[in-house]
């Protein structure tokens, strides 16, 4: 039976969220997998935004539990790092022991992005560790994001595809997604 | 037997990481719980930073699996949102079915922070949804961070303490941590 893959990523926040999600869903189906995406289930009626948020969280967890694997989009979202909802979901699926796959549309590593962000303001501390002007250490393991994310995927024999989308298309380009999808499809076959 | 609690948060990046972690560890022990913190185990010798990153990821996952519960520090880290490693770890412990607790030292909600960040550049789309000048929707459910994090805690009857640390002490103030620790200790007793 075809394996179901949860498609985690910040696409839900895009102006053209539905179109991009539909494209990812169609590509996943074409790869012989069953797409599971946030928003696939109806939300129950709620009185407040607070209740709606809780309902969406519960539904997305249910969708993850219905899936066999995850493909997480680690592309930096509104800042230097992965969308925190996606990071949560990747951790969730890692804990469940599911096959995990990830990609990013930004070729720079996390460490390179943070160094670029601070520029000349970076300092090296007495222990030789690079820090921002705020004193915060700059994690620099060559990973796409925090080591728990990239490491969590690699340590369970998943795969991470590093894309390099044109500026302005980082959240919409699907080149790296197609590539990780092909890897996931082959491994889950 | 005393329950073990994994202490997730961005403290590892602080210039005084060891001191702050030691203080959290001492407070946790004083609350009658067994503290489990990143860095509690020795890292094996590795040849490269890449291998070291993978080793730390594996050790932190092992530490999480050894714990009964988690207290996650959701305070915004180097930007508008929770540290992605912490988000991953919270998702991990939610999936394992562990009791989950969280706190933040910033009183503003995620939606308020993003609105403040964009200021006058926010726009309301045709569907009445608030967006940044980049077109990205501003999630605004009244939560401290992305709904998967705050919702994940509340939906499994955890607790989230919203602190309000003085500017400049957001990553070091332990007032909210003490409060959530007391709640966790009472519930895990």
Q: What is the pLDDT of residues A61-75, one digit of tens each?
A: 999 999 999 999 999
- Residue B17: the pLDDT is 93
Q: Does B38 touch chain A (CB under 8 A)?
A: no
Question: Residues near A24 by Cβ (< 8 Å), separated by ≥ 6?
Answer: A7, A11, A35, A37, A174, A177
Predicted ipTM beyond 0.90? yes
What mean pLDDT, rounded, does chain A reach? 95
Tokens standing for residue B107: 């009183």
Q: What percent of chain A has pLDDT over 70?
A: 99
Read off the pLDDT of each residue in B38-58 and give the average, rounded to a whole number.
Answer: 88
pLDDT in tens, B93-143: 999 999 999 999 999 999 999 999 999 899 999 988 999 999 999 999 999
Q: What is the pLDDT of residue B178?
A: 98
At B181 the pLDDT is 98
From B94, B137, B141, residue closest to A53, measured CB to CB:
B141
Please give the Cα distance from B49 to A140 (Å, whole number).
8
Rounded to an integer, what distance in angstroms lies between the CA atom of residue B91 and that of residue B156?
Answer: 12
Residues of A with Cβ-Cβ distance to B78 under 8 angstroms: 79-81, 114, 132, 134, 136
Residue of B nearest to A140 (CA): B49
Per-residue confidence band for B44, with pLDDT thresholds at 50, 70 and 90: confident
Q: In 3-state terms, what secondary structure has residue B162?
A: strand
pLDDT of residue A143: 98
How high is the pLDDT of residue A17? 93
Residues 129-168 of A with CB under 8 A from B: 131-132, 134-137, 139-143, 145-152, 154-155
Domains of chain B, by residue range, sit at 4-106+157-188, 107-143
Count other C-beta atoms under 10 Å from residue A127's C-beta.
Answer: 7
Question: How confident is the model over B66-95, as pLDDT tens digits?
Answer: 999 999 999 999 999 999 999 999 999 999
Considering only the beta carbons, identify the residue of B49, B80, B125 that sits closest to A142. B49
Chain A residue numbers with beta carbons less than 8 Å from the beta carbon of B152 are 57, 61, 88
Residue B28's closest CA among B11, B43, B13? B11
pLDDT at site A58: 95
Q: Which residue has the tokens 């979901």?
A: A89
With tokens 């560890």, the residue in question is B25
Distance from CA of B78 to the nearest CA of A (A): 8
CATH number of A4-106+145-188: 3.40.50.450
The three-state (H, E, C) secondary structure of chain A, written as one string: CCCEEEEECHHHHCCCHHHHHHHHHHHHHHCCCEEECCCCCCCCCCCCHHHHHHHHHHHHHHHHHHCCEEEEECCECCCCCECHHHHHHHHHHHHCCCCEEEEECCCCCHHHHHHHHHHHHCEECCCCCEECCCCCECCCCCCCCCHHHHHHHHHCCCEEEECCCCCCCCCCCCHHHHHHHHHHHHHHC
Strand order of the sheet with strand B34-36?
A: B34-36, B4-8, B69-73, B100-104, B159-162
pLDDT in tens for each of the 189 residues of chain A?
899 999 999 999 999 999 999 999 999 999 999 999 987 677 788 999 999 999 999 999 999 999 999 999 999 999 999 999 999 999 999 999 999 999 999 999 999 999 999 998 999 999 889 999 999 999 999 999 999 999 999 999 999 999 999 999 999 999 999 999 999 999 999
Measured in angstroms, the CA of A56 and the nearest CA of chain B are apart by: 8
Q: What is the pLDDT of residue A44?
A: 81
**For residue B173, what are its two tokens?**
């103030």
* CATH architecture of structural domain B4-106+157-188: 3-Layer(aba) Sandwich (3.40)
Its pTM surpasses 0.95: yes
């Amino acid at each position: 039976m075809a394996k179901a893959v949860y498609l985690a990523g910040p696409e839900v926040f895009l102006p053209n969220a539905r179109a991009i999600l539909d494209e990812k869903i169609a590509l996943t189906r074409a790869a012989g997998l069953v797409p599971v995406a946030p928003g696939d289930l109806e939300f129950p009626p709620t009185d407040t935004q607070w209740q709606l948020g809780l309902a969406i969280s519960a539904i997305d967890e249910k969708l993850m539990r219905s899936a066999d694997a995850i493909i997480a989009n680690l592309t930096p979202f509104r800042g230097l790092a992965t969308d925190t909802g996606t990071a949560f979901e990747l951790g969730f699926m890692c804990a469940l022991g599911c096959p995990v796959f990830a990609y990013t549309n930004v070729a720079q590593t996390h460490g390179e992005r943070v160094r670029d962000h601070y520029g000349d303001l970076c300092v090296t501390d007495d222990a030789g560790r690079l820090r921002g002007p705020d004193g915060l250490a700059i994690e620099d393991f060559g990973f796409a994001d925090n080591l728990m994310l990239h490491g969590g995927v690699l340590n369970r024999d998943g795969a991470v595809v590093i894309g390099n989308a044109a500026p302005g298309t980082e959240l919409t380009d699907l080149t790296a997604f197609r590539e990780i999808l092909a890897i996931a499809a082959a491994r889950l076959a």
